[in-house]
Amino acid sequence: MNLRIPLSSPDITEAEIEAVAAVMRTSSLSLGPKLEEFEDALATYHKMPRAIAVSSGTAALHLAIRALNIGEGDEVIVPSFTFVAVANAVCFERATPIFVDIDPITLNLDPKCVEAAITPRTQAMIIVHTFGVPAEMDALMSIARRHKLAVIEDACEAIGAAYNDQLVGSFGDVSVFGFYPNKQITTGEGGAVLARDAQLAARIRALRNQGRYPSTEWLQHEEIGYNYRLSEMACALGLVQLKRAPEILAQRTQVAQWYDALLAPIGSMTRPPLDLPSRSISWFVYVVRLAENLPPDARDTVVDTFQKQGIGSARYFAPIHLQPAYASIPSAHQAKLPTTESIAKRTLALPFFNRLSLSDAERVARALAGAIEIAANG
């Protein structure tokens, strides 16, 4: 069935189309001027000294872990309530993901649980700003400093979000972003790494491009690297999207406000907070939580009801430590995450994108109220 109201939709204007077309009229389609321009724009936007554009947010995570020399025998603290790439990237380098529980309000790493999970083998933590809500950076950075841990910020869902008026992605040793089509801004496929340290950034650039350093020949490789490059067309698209970021983020905030008002009368469901202390939210998705007293299959009932009415939805997130891919990972079996497991089985993402109309938001609200009533009455 074609969904009349999709879960997400990229916001592409004529300006983006013209920018991409202009690149295609040149002979420079990779590693050209648009790459440098996009990287400079990302660094300037975040008040960071350097950015490295790459092929995906997953590639960005992998390069960050590799460049920090995290490997076999090392432990990295991660949330389980997040996209699977966070833990996968740790496993790429044969390190061990240590799954830690989340705060029930922000859905980000709980600092108390992080502190309790640190061992002599802990080398780093990946702080994910889940759903565009900044994590508790003061507490988490303090823990990292005390224990001399590297900090990777995963801001793939949170470009433009801020903690104490400082943009996320500008706190850690490195930070990563993703620009998949469902994100606030998109390059189609793509991502980026931000780094303060010049040597670390230089290594990430080399690893992105098959281990080549600027001083070497094209077929000279100083270390084993990857093809994690981002095309000139993608960078041209990203440049226009980044310039539009204030407008895009404002539109998404408006949609969140519509939902908040429309869903307020509906029982047996909790809305995400519109505001949190010390934080500015960058709305990536709009995720509600069904009440614990609903039948266990209530979320499936809502998803099926939405599907029949041509409305998109998604079960965000399935905990990583319970995924089939992690069935053989000891740290996944050992994880005790009651908050993650309780919340994850009740969360549901509603249609959410820049240009979602008020009338469509109203239709989603009516459908959700009806679906919850069906679920509650069996």
Provide the residue-wise pLDDT of the chain in tens; the chain has 378 residues. Answer: 567 999 999 999 999 999 999 999 999 999 999 999 999 999 999 999 999 999 999 999 999 999 999 999 999 999 999 999 999 999 999 999 999 999 999 999 999 999 999 999 999 999 999 999 999 999 999 999 999 999 999 999 999 999 999 999 999 999 999 999 999 999 999 999 999 999 999 999 999 999 999 877 778 889 999 999 999 999 999 999 999 999 999 999 999 999 999 999 999 999 999 999 999 999 999 999 999 999 999 999 999 999 999 999 999 999 999 999 999 999 999 999 999 999 999 999 999 999 999 999 999 999 999 999 999 987
Q: For residue 220, count CB atoms less than 10 angstroms from its CB and return exposed for 0-12, middle for 13-18, buried for 19 or more.
A: exposed
What angle (nearest 5°) sits at the alpha carbon of residue 161, between those of residues 347 and 102?
Answer: 40
* CA triple 284-287-290, angle to 5 deg: 175
Supply the pLDDT for residue 214: 86
pLDDT in the model for residue 321: 98
Structure tokens at 34: 């648009």
CA distances from 225 to 29, 85, 221 (A): 21, 19, 8
CA pair distance 84, 156, nearest whole angstrom: 13
Strand-pair partners of 193: 52, 176
* DSSP bridge partners of 349: 287, 314
Give the phi and the psi of residue 355 in degrees, each rounded to 5.
-105, 20
Residue 317 token pair: 């997130």
Which H, E and C letters describe 212-266, residue by residue? CCCCCCCCCCCCCCCECCCEHHHHHHHHHHHHCHHHHHHHHHHHHHHHHHHHCCC
Measured CA to CA, the distance from residue 236 to residue 20 in angstroms comes to 6
- The Cβ of residue 292 has, within 10 Å, a number of other Cβ atoms equal to 13
| Ramachandran bin of 225, using left for φ above 0, alpha for ψ from -120 to 50, beta for the remaining angles | beta
Q: Which residues are catalytic?
A: 183
* 269, β-bridge pairs: 290
Task: Please give the Cα distance from 58 to 85 (Å, whole number).
Answer: 6
pLDDT of amino acid 59: 98
Token pair 């994690």 is at which residue? 228
For 328, the token pair is 């053989």
pLDDT for the residue numbered 3:
74
